[in-house]
Structures are given as C-alpha cells and as structure tokens.
Copies of this chain bind each other. A is one copy, B any other.
Amino acid sequence: MTSQAATSPVASDDTLIDRYRDVRARTEALCETLEPEDMVVQSMADVSPAKWHLAHTSWFFETFVLARGDDYRCFDPAYEYLHNSYYNSVGAQFPRARRGLLTRPTVDEIRRYRAHVDASLIRGLERGLLDGAARGVIELGLHHEQQHQELLLMDIKHVLFQNPLYPAYRETPAREPTEAPAFAWIDCPGGIHSIGAEAGDGFAFDNEGPRHRVLLEPHRLANRLVTNAEYREFIRDGGYRTPSLWLADGWALVQTERWSAPLYWVERDGEWFEFTLAGLVPLDPAAPVCHVSFYEADAYASWADARLPTEAEWEVAAAERPPRGRFLDFGRLHPAPASGPGLQQLYGDAWEWTRSAYQPYPGFRAAAGALGEYNGKFMCNQLVLRGGCCATPSGHLRASYRNFFYPHQRWMFSGIRLASDRGDRAA
C-alpha cells in the first residue's frame, strides 16, 4: 500500500460508507448469473474460484481493518488461512493452486461472511471508531476489491471455456456491426516528461510512484488497437510458424503449447469464432484482438515492422486525456471496435501490452508491513500493461495505473497497440 493513499485526503465517513456499500454490492451482482457449481472451480493455478474472490476481498477488510480493532468478533478463525492470498507477513496461506479443492465454506456461507464483515465495518465507520489510517486501508480495500471484480470475470471466463458446451456467463445485447477506423500513426514528441502518481494527488497504488522524470525520444503510436482482422492476417501469413518473428522464449512456448491463435479463438469448419462472456460468437473483424500473450503481441509487432510502446510513452500520451473508455459499466464485457479520429482506445476495451518490464520506479520503496507485499515483490519477470479493459470497473483506472502479467499469460483482456521509433515505417 502507498504512502500516497495514507497521506491523501481520505473521504468523509458518509461518502466512504456509500462507496463501500456500492463496491461490495457490485461484486455480488457479478455473481448473479452464476450457479454454485460455477463458483467452486479453479481451471488453472492462475485462476481463483469465484467464491474465493468473494471471501478473499472480505478477508482483506477483516484482516487489515477489523482485526486491528479491539472488539471485532471473528467470523471463523479458519478463514484467515483459507483466504489469505500471498501475505507472508500475515501468516501461512492455503496453497494457491489448490483453491479449487475447497468445497467448503459454501457460497452461502461466504455470503454470510461478507455480510458479517460489512456489518462490522459499517458499524465502525458509523460510530467513528476508525482512524485515518484505517480509513486509508478501507480506501485501498475498495480498489483491491475492484481489481478482484475484474479478476472474477477473467477467471470465470476461463473456467467456462474449459467446457465443450461453451456456456455463457451472461447474454449481452447484440450490436450492429461496425468498421474500425483505418490504421494511422500518431506522432509523439520526445523530451523530458514526468510520469507516475504524485503523492497527495488522489488514490494510487504504491507501484505508481514516485512521480519521476523520464527521457523520451520522438516516436509514434498507432491510432487504435490492433483488430481481429489484422491479427487474422498475421496468422494467415504464417505468423505462428515463423521463428524469426518471435522472442526465443515465446517461440519455445508456441511449440510446446502448440499455440496457433489467441486464447479464446475457436476454429470450426474453417471459420473463426471467439469465446466471450456471452458464449461462442463469430469473430468480429473490427473488434480489437484480445487474450494475446506478450510474446504474441511482440511477434505481431515484429511482423508489422513496428514495436510495442514503453509504459512511459503510453502514460505521457494518456495523461493528456480523461480516463474514459469502454469499461465494465459499458456492459458489453468484450472489447468493441474503435471509432473516431485521433488516438483512440487508450482507456478501456483491452489492456495494452507495453515492452516495459515491471520494475520499481526510481526511488520506489515498498511500504513496511504486510501491505508492502501488495505490489513490490512482484517486480520481476512481468511486463506492464496499461489502460484497463472492458472488465475493469469504471472509475478504477487512471493514467499512472500499472497492471502487470507474465509474458506467457493471456487469460486477461490483453490487446496490442503498435508503436514505432521512426517516421519512415508503416505497419
């Protein structure tokens, strides 16, 4: 957690209660269409069962706010071990890869746990029993819960995809087909810029700071995300069979995993379909390609004679714009085609892989204590993604927001924006 969070002006208790209720209710609303059976299964080690997300987000408030108060009545002492994600400072954790083996507590029991935590926490806020530090942690806990809202959607999508029946998470309204705007380069100037979250300037995770200067060379960014049609062309051109396009580790993975398309693409009788949260649908050529690994994004960029942007390039461009885009509230639960002139889709639709390794900013120091484990210990082997996606809760994103995944992962809503060093190159 961040000194930013701790020192930034925290909302009044009334506002905080409202926000707390709203965020917590939204998590539960995401489970409305799920059966208990859907909420138990863990389809790979990276995925957590939906009921675990419901419990863990409550555990966060219980552990870091309620249990530090004097008179909290613990709901069940066994839950600490079961629902701790990775906080070694708190204690041992039930092994992550085995979360899907826990049938109990049931979904109903976890809902009662949530209600218990909510009642305790709201009572504390109503009675003014929580100091500024605690309120800061509640603020962090709400952002944490929003992250798990997105994870829950990513995870349930992966769970349902294991099933040859391709069940839908939720029906979404049909849309008129549209076309994406033509590809174009947008020129971006070089120079010294500042990126990162400024302490005291609203909530930010600790990994977004300190704000610091970076030196950029002149470059260009694509006007929109790479489309399914463009990516299909990469496939048709033998992209998955051409080692010279790939990083060595990526090419090794293509061969051992026999990758030949993005994660959720399904070929039937020569036609491409895509598994979405609304079930299996024909591939929309104008929509952004999604669920690609860093290796695929990088190989596509090589094929297109371009490269991926750095996170600083992205942030400098994004910081000039309000963080608006097609997020979770848009209701589509899938990336939509771009429209309009200029730099589009910086926010929402699909996370954008950058070529930047997820590393500490100059001067970064993780906070002391358990919440210092939130971000800092993951600053190795991962790459930064920027901009949020169709499953990111609205209001959660900002220009300095750093998401991070391993280069082989692709169950998140990850897409591609091209960049280029020089003016003389075409995609």
Contacts and interface: CB of A to CB of B under 8 A. Distances in A.
Interface string A6-30: 0000000000000000000000000
Nearest to A363: B421
Nearest to A247: B380
A244 B367 CA distance: 11
A41 B36 CA distance: 12
Contacts of A43: 101
A350 to B, nearest CB: 21
Given A36-B35, A357-B357, A378 B102 contact: no
Contacts of A259: none
Given A103-B41, A106-B35, A192 B163 contact: no
A216 to B, nearest CB: 9
Interface string A178-216: 000000000000001000000000000000000011110
B217 A214 contact: no
A100 interface: yes
A210 to B, nearest CB: 10
Contacts of A380: 247-250, 294-295, 298, 407
Interface of A: 35-41, 43, 51, 78, 81-82, 86, 88-89, 94, 98, 100-107, 159-160, 162-165, 167, 192, 212-215, 217, 243-244, 246-251, 294-295, 298, 307, 355-357, 359-360, 362-363, 372-373, 377-381, 407, 421-422
15 contacts: A35-B104, A35-B106, A37-B107, A38-B103, A41-B41, A102-B162, A103-B167, A104-B160, A104-B163, A104-B165, A212-B217, A217-B362, A247-B379, A357-B359, A380-B407
Interface centre among A43, A377, A378 (most CB of B within 10 A): A377
A174 to B, nearest CB: 23
B37 A164 contact: no
A213 B190 CA distance: 12
Given A37-B40, A40-B103, A159-B101, A407 B381 contact: yes
10 tightest Cβ-Cβ pairs between the two chains A and B: A357-B357, A88-B243, A101-B162, A215-B215, A36-B36, A38-B103, A37-B103, A248-B377, A247-B380, A37-B40
Contact of A164 (B82, B298, B356): B82
Contacts of A377: 246-248, 251
B103 A35 contact: yes
A168 to B, nearest CB: 10
Contacts of A421: 362-363
A215 B217 contact: no
Nearest to A246: B377
A422 B362 CA distance: 11
A113 B36 CA distance: 19
Given A41-B40, A213-B215, A103 B159 contact: yes
Given A37-B40, A88-B243, 6 more contacts: A41-B103, A101-B159, A247-B378, A247-B379, A363-B421, A363-B422
Contacts of A360: 307, 355
Contacts of A217: 212, 362-363
Contacts of A51: 37
Nearest to A357: B357
B215 A214 contact: yes
Contacts of A167: 103-104
A244 B88 contact: yes
Contacts of A422: 363
A251 B192 CA distance: 37
A307 B363 CA distance: 10
Contact of A378 (B82, B104, B248, B356): B248
Given A40-B41, A89-B244, A163 B103 contact: yes
Contact of A160 (B40, B78, B82, B103): B103
B164 A81 contact: yes
A297 to B, nearest CB: 11
A89 B251 CA distance: 13
